[in-house]
Structure 1
Amino acid sequence: MLLKIIIFFIALGWIFSSLLRYFLRSKLKKFVDQVQEAQRADYRSKNQPRDGNVNVDYVPKDYKKKSSGNISGGDYIDYEEVKD
């Protein structure tokens, strides 16, 4: 009789630990998904230009546009960097 009670409590503890582990994993996964979605939304809102306008904060006074005649050591190709 005592052996049956011990086995019952061991089985009951194993079942509860399995259920608790499953519950915590599902809640943790849901929490991680919410945090990642919040970070994505924050990243999108910070990096998206407002109204399609470009704002240049600082241009040095001694800034001169380089022409291909001033550059030596190879071909110079003008390009414009495009960011998504």
Structure 2
Amino acid sequence: MSAASELKALANPKRAYELQRFFKTAKGQYGEGDNFLGLTVPQVRKIATAYKGLSFTELSPLLSSKIHEFRLCGLIIPNCKCFADA
């Protein structure tokens, strides 16, 4: 299983809809094109911790995704690695 598939498995369509409205993702708005799964930050952090061994090359698909939570997870994973080494 991948980080992306685990994130998708937790998707909450109702919350995703609310987030898309909050972050102004309609055409012409500042968040245009951004998509949400409807996850909370603690949910994303939990999955990121499980994938803290990913290399930057393996993070690339997460970081270049149009899905907000994928990018967030891709940014949290390197921080998990730093804190684990400290």
TM over 0.5: no
The TM-score normalised by the length of structure 1 is 0.25
Larger Rg: 1
The TM-score normalised by the length of structure 2 is 0.24
